[in-house]
Amino acid sequence: MPDPIRLSKRVAELAGCSRADAERYIENGWVSVDGVIVEAPQHPVSDERVELDPDAVLEAPEPATVLLHKPAGFDAIAGRKPAAALVTPATRWAEDPSGVRLLQRHFTRLTPLVPLDADASGLMVLTQDGRVWRRLTEDIAQIEQEFVVEVAGEIAPYGLRRLAHGLRYRGRELPPCKVSWQNEFRLRFAIKDVQPGQLRDMCAQVNLQVVAIRRLRIGRIAMAKLPVGEWRYLPVGERF
């Protein structure tokens, strides 16, 4: 067996390119070793089968943005049970329609955005993309979010009207939102600038007890059929 060499050296020989370009091909996920994608240029190889994808390009892939269906009981932004830990190669939705190639580099420096109560479930966003980070931090107060809230109890007189406009939370008057009954047990909220704990408090003010909260949409991006605990990529070009 020949002495091991760095994968980048083997790829440079294979493709007739510079070592720097070979490292870029490897880091961008275009090189496989015995059929398995390897993204580390320093990976040692000897007589393994090394292949460069015929569609390989030197341009770096776009930073990833991930949409996760967070289960209840996980912390969205910070806490002892972070939902970000659920984002692994094994939990990618098998029917992800994004067309984005899965790369190990997509699982580093993923920043969770847009708070969601730990006891709530639903759509959560994690990103490596500074453009998405700015949109969902600087502009989040103007972006509508949609929730389904399962409730128990009998709503107070004029309760639906008061939910839509007329309540206060933590000393501030809440701006108008859209609220409707989805069925006799579920309310649907389309609301902007929602704060942690706000939906539960709003319901309590009209004599309703919250059983469950699920976020369905952030801006133009909906969770749709994404299963609980699984994730998919946000396709390049789609905007919140």
Q: What does the pLDDT look like over 87-133, one tens digit per residue?
A: 999 999 999 999 999 998 899 899 999 999 999 999 999 999 999 99
Q: Which fold has domain 144-218?
A: Pseudouridine synthase (3.30.2350)
Q: What share of the chain is helix, strand, coil (3-state, %, to 5)?
A: 25, 30, 45
Average pLDDT, the chain: 94
Residues with Cβ within 8 Å of 233's Cβ and at least 6 positions away in sequence, in order, are 64, 65, 66, 67, 96, 98, 100, 106
- For residues 151 and 163, is the Cβ–Cβ distance under 8 A? no
pLDDT-derived band at 58, boundaries 50, 70, 90: confident
C-alpha to C-alpha distance for 26 and 17, rounded to whole angstroms: 12
CATH topology of domain 65-140+221-233: Alpha-Beta Plaits (3.30.70)
CA 81 vs. chain centroid, Å, equals: 16
Residue 29: pLDDT band with limits 50, 70, 90: confident
What are the structural domain ranges in the chain?
A: 5-52, 65-140+221-233, 144-218
Q: Is the pLDDT of residue 66 over 80?
A: yes
Q: Does domain 5-52 have CATH number 3.10.290.10?
A: yes
The per-residue pLDDT for 229 is 98
